[in-house]
Amino acid sequence: MNIMDFNVKKLAADAGTFLSRAVQFTEEKLGQAEKTELDAHLENLLSKAECTKIWTEKIMKQTEVLLQPNPNARIEEFVYEKLDRKAPSRINNPELLGQYMIDAGTEFGPGTAYGNALIKCGETQKRIGTADRELIQTSALNFLTPLRNFIEGDYKTIAKERKLLQNKRLDLDAAKTRLKKAKTAETRASSEQELRITQSEFDRQAEITRLLLEGISSTHAHHLRCLNDFVEAQMTYYAQCYQYMLDLQKQLGRCFPSNYHCNNNQTSVAPISSAASSNVIGSSSLTPTSGLVITTPSNLIDLKECSGSRKARVLYDYDAANSSELSLLADEVITVFSVIGMDSDWLMGERGNQKGRVPITYLELLN
């Protein structure tokens, strides 16, 4: 027998086996043939494996969306991963926002209140971007990779053995059907021999599949450890972001040169007017409902209610918005006085021959 004859006979045998399985499967669906049921324990293991696969895929995909919301970036990373190449490093959204803020603050002038605040915010956003990058790397390594390894490795092996078990079960039931239909003693003896062989192969494959499926419990234990790593990575990330924003808030609280108050919770907090203010800027407070509030010194309110001029120290740099205002430099001393009909948040300031309106909240009245 040459190789070609052997291959032809093998193909014919495979075709016969496939046809036999197809006929058995069709008759089972039509209710014309009996079906060997798997034992309850094996069925439960198969169900548990399928459930694990479905939810692992969903959790893995949604975690990828959480860590990288940009679908184009995810596709690019997937392609590079399949090519076994490292994806090029790209600037993330917090880093890009931070760079824009720093560039804007530099353009407006670091010496101005707004420019200085933008630069500080930009630096914090870039720190958050770095923390975000570390979260993605840690989560991909300690959480996503193990989940992906299960889907692409362990579960594929389980699915392969499960398919083999299904084929062996069809072969067994087809042999049982042929034995029932056997009419001669010779045919019956041949069918009984075939049944013993198929039963042995089915039992062996069921045991192999069962051993693999029992490993799902170990998979759950491993995924639990990975989940804990993911939670710790998120905890570290959010703790870093909170600390960065807390530090930024403190910096802005020291540097904001106007009667600033948080826009959050506007429904419960009314804007702070100078008439209702009673504390010096340096003693501004932070509360959960009111945000950061910088109020007007009471001695400046007293000045507006009386006549005459006083000396005042400038707390922060101020750039005049128009010709009616006077630009200020931090720590300089100017003369201030009230003018009838002027807005309550302003005084008239005088420095030598220069005169113009100045904001109350930039000043500290001297005795």
Q: How confident is the model at residue 82 (pLDDT cuts 50, 70, 90)?
A: low
- Residue with the bigger pLDDT between 267 and 239: it is 239
How far apart are the C-alpha atoms of 172 and 13, rounded to whole Å?
16
Q: What is the mean pLDDT of residues 322-332?
A: 91
Q: What is the mean pLDDT of residues 158-185?
A: 90
Whether the predicted model's global pTM rises above the 0.75 cut: no
Most confident range (mean pLDDT) of 169-178, 205-214, 282-291 is: 205-214
Q: Taking 80 as the threshold, does the pLDDT of residue 78 lie above it? A: no
Is 303:365 a contact under the CB 8 Å cutoff? yes
Is 108:118 a contact under the CB 8 Å cutoff? yes
Rounded mean pLDDT of the chain? 81
pLDDT in tens, 144-158: 999 999 999 999 999
Q: Taking 50 as the threshold, does the pLDDT of residue 292 lie above it? A: no
How far apart are the C-alpha atoms of 50 and 181, rounded to whole Å?
37
Is 85:166 a contact under the CB 8 Å cutoff? no
What's residue 90's pLDDT?
A: 81
pLDDT in tens, 84-108: 677 677 888 999 999 999 999 999 9
**Do you know the residue count of the chain?**
367
67 sits in which H/E element: helix 40-67
Quote the strand ranges of the chain, DSSP E.
Answer: 285-287, 291-293, 309-314, 333-337, 346-351, 354-359, 363-365
What are the beta bridge partners of residue 261? 293
Beta strands 363-365 and 309-314: pairing type? Answer: antiparallel
At what angle are helices 185-213 and 40-67 packed, to 10 degrees?
A: 40
| Whole-Å CA distances, 251 to 18, 118, 268 | 75, 12, 25
How far apart are the C-alpha atoms of 213 and 49, rounded to whole Å?
7
Q: What is the mean pLDDT of residues 96-122?
A: 92
Q: Taking 80 as the threshold, does the pLDDT of residue 290 lie above it? A: no
pLDDT in tens, 214-241: 999 999 999 999 999 999 999 999 999 9
Q: What is the mean pLDDT of residues 192-215?
A: 94
